[in-house]
Structure 1
């Protein structure tokens, strides 16, 4: 095998971090359009129940798909380490396992859609009017699961190689198709919530097809990987361990988000709709930060693969600095520009007034999320997934305690936002405390065996 997954690791610099982060920042800024366009188009219909349905639908599918976001994150971390170790054959083996796992898990979700729907609707606590619209949306969009999860493997492989420019291409293509079809189906054809769901389904299928073409152009041949390589016991154990840890970590994160959404829904359709508007605002900020987390995944993973402790420390420090700087900037922009954003998303006066009331707390969330985003990228690149899982569970316990306190005090939606900000802060604090020990342990261990390694041309 002679294809080149990426260039060999270099000592990280501000320019290198920005070169990796900015394409994915641009890609990620467009990603909330999947929820934002649907909310904006449905919001123009002037029905709070319909807006609540599309908002809950977005949360449910975030919960489902983010639960398996381990496929992207683990693939990116493992691929980056293989690139750092200059093992081109392993890059393709990792990719093949990820695509196969994503497709199989997605098909299983489609088969289990009815019990999943019943559980999700029960947990949501939404009104009958919201549930009626949500059911239509859910049973169409769930069909996108195999495409979404297989695409996670494709995207993770691209990012682990340091080709965030191609990650930008894939994400923008998916989002543009989704935006165009949502406008056409909902406003043009009058399909309502069904049109919004169908648009997302078509966009995800198109994204997977494009991703496979991109990988072929990179020289990857995942479908030619021998079956015996996919069944390698040691590689499977490592892959499964990393994925399981990240899945459990993600489930804990989703639990926090679902609790936030469900407790908000119990306060009425107007509060639910207002929180959905503010949540989209937070997500836009979060995806800015995620660009630097992606840079950390790539640079830290490649440094671990190359056994370069100095490069790892440098990549970690730069990622943290950029995330904290952007967290402050995004929080200020959210506070100052939030009223205009709210008015654009919804025409409902009660929803506008309620969203404005909670905007100051929502604007704190990006700042509190800055350190966790940076550390997530660092931990994933280093495959410190067991520690990441355990620290997330600790932060979730803090979140539960704060929620119990604020609800007992009758703080309502204000308490929900306070608890969520505390959860984000606890995550960053725990990860910072654990970092030095994990760093020492990683570079004290001997490098993995080079048996069977190919020597790709990295020129």
Structure 2
């Protein structure tokens, strides 16, 4: 079990780093949809899928090096490390399926087909659970069985995603062509767009890793309490991301149409919805946070530690909602350069200095730095949004990625 947990954590970090394949595709597709450009819809789909497939194959080729470099950081025992290797060496073959699915999900969101990603995720998780029970408990294949279950589930989810895309494209009257793949200028733009998102994601991963490492230095109970609270933060962010995804698709469509009124209306509506949802999360955590912690862990010491830092989490939805929501706006507008730049500023100029100044406060100082970091991300994006709106930048470069 420990080996599976270690390897699964490693895969989560790897695949999260390539989340740009989803985000980058959405904005391009949403704008193409706004222009009613069926050629561009197919071009961005094909180029994103090819890019994802090549990246997945490269991950397989580089897997021995990845395992050699990453595994020592977990400081696992010999037995756990060996089981982690077994799991990793099998599950790595799902990388092309996972990354292509990112591209397909991004395409479906850009096409305003939100049921598609939901069905893909539900099928993948359901098949994974069933095959885990069969392979691990039924056939006794242990660690390798768990990895095989995930690989099969990922490829079945990919098959469903491809089927959905095929059905959507069946009646658009256009065809795929070789020129779509070999449009070097467009592919260069796609790589540049994904580069911005990749740097942004690495910054976010670095903050999360730093937060975990500093928490570990404060003791096992603090580490466990922080992990518990951060898991709740992930759930909150997933809830708020629903409105961000709507913003991605609808703002991108508005820019593709050249409809300024619709663009600002979408920003306003998704912003208010995000803010209300964030407020409800704060209310829920404020009223039932301690009870929730008791349900999530059966270790009283961990629950007690987590309750000490719970006020930070209670405030977080209304602080973080701004960056989650505006990320969606900037993705739809294909202005990922600003997402990258504001993230770099938030990490280098805000998070690290605040932590350094308040490090003597221990975990309270760590949570203070993390909270100010999230606020800085939102404030940076708000400033850029206001500047772009004042100078009509959103629509000035709307043909750049055609």
Instruction: Tell me the TM-score normalised to structure 1 length.
Output: 0.78
Quote the offset at 1:311 in angstroms.
Answer: 0.9
Mind listing any 5+ residue stretches in structure 2 that lack a counterpart?
none
SS in 2 for 1:162: coil
Quote the offset at 1:266 in angstroms.
Answer: 3.7
Quote the offset at 1:296 in angstroms.
Answer: 0.3
CA contact 2:333–2:394 (8 Å) conserved in 1? no
Q: 2:240 aligns with which of 285, 289, 296?
A: 289
Structure 2 equivalent of residue 400 of structure 1: 352
What is the correspondence of 1:48-447 to structure 2 with a 5 Å cutoff?
50=2, 57-124=7-74, 134-182=84-132, 196-219=146-169, 225-397=176-348, 398-407=350-359, 409-411=360-362, 413-439=363-389, 440-443=391-394, 445=396
Q: CA–CA distance in 2 between the matches of 1:254 and 1:337? A: 29
Closer, same or farther: CA 441–183 of 1 in aligned 2, 3 Å: farther
Q: CA–CA distance in 1 between the matches of 2:50 and 2:247? A: 26
Q: CA–CA distance in 2 between the matches of 1:326 and 1:243? A: 29
CA contact 2:258–2:395 (8 Å) conserved in 1? no
Q: CA–CA distance in 2 between the matches of 1:424 and 1:81? A: 28
Q: CA–CA distance in 2 between the matches of 1:450 and 1:302? A: 13
Q: CA–CA distance in 1 between the matches of 2:227 and 2:304? A: 14
Closer, same or farther: CA 444–363 of 1 in aligned 2, 3 Å: closer
Closer, same or farther: CA 422–446 of 1 in aligned 2, 3 Å: closer
Quote the offset at 1:134 in angstroms.
Answer: 4.7
Q: CA–CA distance in 2 between the matches of 1:315 and 1:112? A: 43
Closer, same or farther: CA 124–364 of 1 in aligned 2, 3 Å: farther
Quote the offset at 1:243 in angstroms.
Answer: 1.1
SS in 2 for 1:95: helix
Q: CA–CA distance in 2 between the matches of 1:253 and 1:382? A: 21
Bigger relative contact order, structure 1 or 2, given CA contacts below 8 A and separation 6+? 1
SS in 1 for 2:67: helix
Closer, same or farther: CA 347–114 of 1 in aligned 2, 3 Å: farther
The more displaced of 212-221 and 284-293 is: 212-221
Query: How many pairs were matched up?
Result: 399
Closer, same or farther: CA 127–339 of 1 in aligned 2, 3 Å: farther
The more displaced of 150-159 and 275-284 is: 275-284
The more displaced of 164-173 and 270-279 is: 270-279
Q: CA–CA distance in 2 between the matches of 1:399 and 1:143? A: 36
Q: CA–CA distance in 2 between the matches of 1:137 and 1:346? A: 26
CA contact 2:200–2:340 (8 Å) conserved in 1? yes
Closer, same or farther: CA 304–414 of 1 in aligned 2, 3 Å: same
Q: CA–CA distance in 1 between the matches of 2:138 and 2:225? A: 26
Deviation track 1:217-276 (CA, whole Å, cap 9, x = no partner) reads 112599962222211132122212211111111111111112122323344444433333
CA contact 2:136–2:142 (8 Å) conserved in 1? yes
Structure 2 equivalent of residue 27 of structure 1: none
CA contact 1:126–1:266 (8 Å) conserved in 2? no
Q: CA–CA distance in 2 between the matches of 1:196 and 1:346? A: 24
Instruction: Tell me the TM-score normalised to structure 2 length.
Output: 0.88
Closer, same or farther: CA 131–368 of 1 in aligned 2, 3 Å: farther
CA contact 1:126–1:265 (8 Å) conserved in 2? no
Deviation track 1:369-399 (CA, whole Å, cap 9, x = no partner) reads 2001100000000011111111110011111
CA contact 2:124–2:157 (8 Å) conserved in 1? yes
Q: Cα RMSD over matched residues?
A: 3.0
